[in-house]
């Protein structure tokens, strides 16, 4: 089950004349190496277990592990080319991209972003450095050259967790409570917030908290991006980040989810930050999402959503979306944007062409919801009932890269957030 399908996958993709011993050995070594890698949470859950780690009970990967394709097939293809039985020479990096596409749109998208991240890894500080999931994710991004991780927490506790995991990992560690950087960060924070009710003593006290310490590391240039939220509620991460770093000048902070639905990519916003946005805030939310699409090499087509189609149901809420649409068009005439419109019309070119052929947007990929409740509810229903894959939340509009995890996120989610944070930092 682990060898046969993937040996033939690699052999067929290079049009090998035969499957020789070198190809079978390559598959064997690939499986042996993969067995010592960190096992994804979705694989562990699929077998009803709490953990899987190389040892007496786990010496080869599980058949349901989707990574087997990405490890075995390329190893077999490489061996076939090296031993002269391949009739087709392929670029292995491009081949990995093809295999990722076979695993689904999500894997393909994140692989492309991962390749961007690897070109210039950044220093990423994790606010919950003592958490096992964070340590596993930090180890993965370090081993794959995605980022240079910094863990916040007690060094003895983090090192004990690393030893228990049985991994070779020596991360940079800072304990906010005892760090010699705390006083400097407190002074800098006090300078920013002294006229907003913060005393120097209070600033020193706040810097003992990872959410403040990590944000100030980024603000002071000691790290390039900050990630937290595994054990926090979203506002508990966002509030310190706004106080320490703040929004970009003239911008509002908003949250975006990338939704992968039947091989199509949509950007849902704002699903995490602004509860009841004004017209000006809706315009800012749309512009933030448009900026994000560029990182995914996607041309934004923005639909400003409502219960009304182009004035069909006059109401104050509809009017606010209509006003926001006009603001976006005025600020960014280069963008494809239209509204207000209903969600089904926004994503259906046929409906749009039949009823509203005058619209500037024919098949929207950026959906700007009229309020947080609508956006948050829509993405969660689509994920749970529609089988869509969600990437995010991705925090946009911050002056420096800060990314908040969903509470209880999987290791893969933390890795994806790290990739996004690195790419974010690269664009600054």
CA angle in degrees (0–180, nearest 5) for 169-173-174: 175
Domain boundaries, the chain: 4-103, 117-244, 254-396
pLDDT at 41: 82
* pLDDT at 106 exceeding the cut of 80: no
pLDDT at 230: 92
**Which 8-state DSSP code applies to residue 58?**
B
Max avg pLDDT among 98-107, 168-177, 400-409: 168-177
pLDDT at 31: 94
CA atoms within 13 A on the CB side of 277: 33
Other beta carbons less than 10 A from residue 137's beta carbon: 30
pLDDT at 166: 84
**SS3 category, 69:** helix
* Dihedral (CA of 268, 272, 273, 276) sign: positive
Average pLDDT over residues 88-108: 86
Maximum distance among all Cα pairs of the chain, rounded to whole angstroms: 75
CB 416 within 8 A of CB 141: no
Average pLDDT over residues 301-325: 92
* pLDDT at 262 exceeding the cut of 90: no
pLDDT at 42: 80
Average pLDDT over residues 156-160: 95
- How buried is 139 (Cβ within 10 angstroms: 0-12 exposed, 13-18 middle, 19+ buried)? buried
* pLDDT at 292 exceeding the cut of 80: yes
pLDDT at 107: 78
Q: Measure the CA–CA gap between 276 and 212, rounded to whole angstroms.
A: 27
pLDDT at 50: 82
Mean pLDDT check: name the lowest of 192-196, 250-254, 260-264, 355-359.
260-264
pLDDT at 63: 85
- Indicate the pLDDT class of residue 39, thresholds 50, 70 and 90: confident
Residue 41: C-alpha distances to residues 50, 106, 226, 300, 413 (Å): 9, 16, 23, 33, 10
Mean pLDDT check: name the lowest of 70-74, 314-318, 322-326.
314-318
- Indicate the pLDDT class of residue 334, thresholds 50, 70 and 90: very high
pLDDT at 126: 97
Q: Measure the CA–CA gap between 194 and 240, rounded to whole angstroms.
A: 15
Any idea which architecture 254-396 has in CATH? 3-Layer(aba) Sandwich (3.40)
Residue 252: C-alpha distances to residues 111, 271, 367, 378 (Å): 29, 14, 17, 22
DSSP string, 211-276: HHHHHHHHHTTS-SEEEE-SSS-HHHHHHHHHHHT-BPTT---EEEEEEEETTEEEEEE-SSS-SS
- How buried is 340 (Cβ within 10 angstroms: 0-12 exposed, 13-18 middle, 19+ buried)? buried
- For domain 117-244, give its CATH number from 3.40.228.10, 3.30.70.360, 3.40.50.10950, 1.10.150.530: 3.40.50.10950
Average pLDDT over residues 378-405: 88
pLDDT at 210: 95
More confident residue, 31 or 296: 31
- Helix, strand, coil tally for the chain in percent (to 5): 50, 15, 35
pLDDT at 422: 95
Phi, psi of 227 (to 5 degrees): -130, 130
pLDDT at 289: 93
Q: Do domains 117-244 and 254-396 have the same CATH topology?
A: yes
More confident residue, 263 or 255: 255
Other beta carbons less than 10 A from residue 381's beta carbon: 11
- The answer, yes or no, to whether the previous bond of 244 is cis (omega within 30 of 0) is no
Other beta carbons less than 10 A from residue 21's beta carbon: 9
- Indicate the pLDDT class of residue 192, thresholds 50, 70 and 90: very high
Average pLDDT over residues 343-347: 93
Average pLDDT over residues 252-273: 89
Percent of the chain with pLDDT over 90: 68
DSSP string, 149-212: EEEES-HHHHHHHHHHHT-----EEE-TTT-TTHHHHHHHHHHHHGGGT--HHHHHHHTTSHHH
- Indicate the pLDDT class of residue 160, thresholds 50, 70 and 90: very high
Percent of the chain with pLDDT over 70: 100
Average pLDDT over residues 187-216: 95
pLDDT at 165: 87
- How buried is 398 (Cβ within 10 angstroms: 0-12 exposed, 13-18 middle, 19+ buried)? buried
Q: Tokens 């000048």 appear where?
A: 249
Q: Cβ neighbours of residue 63 under 8 Å, at least 6 residues apart?
A: 1, 2
More confident residue, 40 or 222: 222
Q: Measure the CA–CA gap between 245 and 23, rounded to whole angstroms.
A: 53
b/e map of 233-264 (b: 16 or more CB within 10 Å)? ebebbbebbbbbbbbbeebbbbbbbbbbbeee
- Indicate the pLDDT class of residue 383, thresholds 50, 70 and 90: confident
Average pLDDT over residues 336-355: 92
pLDDT at 33: 93
């Amino acid at each position: 089950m682990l060898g046969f399908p993937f040996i033939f996958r690699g052999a067929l993709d290079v049009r090998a004349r035969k499957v020789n011993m070198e190809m079978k050995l390559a598959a064997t070594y690939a499986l042996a190496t993969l067995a010592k890698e960190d096992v994804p949470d979705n694989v562990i859950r699929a077998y009803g277990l709490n953990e899987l780690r190389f040892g007496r009970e786990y010496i080869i990967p599980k058949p349901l592990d989707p990574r087997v394709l990405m490890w075995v097939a390329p190893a077999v293809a490489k061996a076939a080319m090296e031993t002269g039985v391949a009739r087709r020479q392929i670029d292995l990096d491009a081949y990995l991209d093809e295999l990722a596409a076979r695993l689904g749109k999500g894997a393909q998208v994140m692989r492309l972003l991962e390749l961007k991240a690897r070109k210039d890894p950044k220093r990423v500080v994790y606010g919950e450095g003592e958490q096992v999931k964070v340590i596993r994710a930090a180890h993965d991004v370090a081993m794959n050259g995605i980022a240079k991780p910094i863990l916040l927490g007690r060094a003895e506790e983090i090192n004990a967790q690393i030893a228990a995991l049985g991994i070779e990992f020596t991360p940079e560690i800072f304990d906010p409570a005892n760090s010699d950087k705390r006083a400097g960060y407190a002074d800098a924070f006090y300078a920013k917030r002294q006229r907003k009710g913060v005393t120097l003593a209070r600033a020193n006290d706040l810097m003992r908290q990872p959410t403040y310490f990590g944000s100030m590391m980024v603000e002071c240039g000691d790290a390039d991006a900050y990630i937290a939220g595994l054990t926090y509620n979203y506002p508990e991460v966002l509030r310190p980040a706004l106080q320490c770093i703040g929004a970009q000048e003239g911008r509002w902070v908003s949250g975006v989810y990338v939704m992968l639905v039947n091989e199509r990519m949509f950007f849902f916003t704002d699903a995490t930050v602004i509860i009841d946005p004004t017209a000006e805030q809706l315009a800012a939310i749309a512009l933030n999402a448009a900026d994000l699409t560029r990182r995914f090499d996607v041309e934004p087509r923005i639909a400003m959503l409502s219960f009304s189609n182009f004035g069909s149901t006059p109401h104050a809420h509809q009017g606010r979306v209509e006003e926001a649409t006009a603001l976006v068009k005025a600020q960014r005439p280069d963008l494809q944007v239209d509204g207000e419109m209903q969600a089904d019309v926004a994503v259906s070119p046929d409906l749009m062409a039949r009823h509203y052929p005058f619209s500037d947007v024919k098949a929207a990929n950026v959906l700007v919801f009229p309020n947080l409740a609508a956006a948050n509810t829509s993405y969660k229903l689509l994920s749970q009932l529609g089988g869509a894959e969600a990437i995010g939340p991705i925090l946009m509009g911050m002056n420096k890269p800060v990314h908040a995890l969903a509470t209880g996120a999987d290791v893969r989610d933390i890795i994806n957030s790290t990739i996004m944070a690195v790419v974010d930092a690269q664009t600054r």
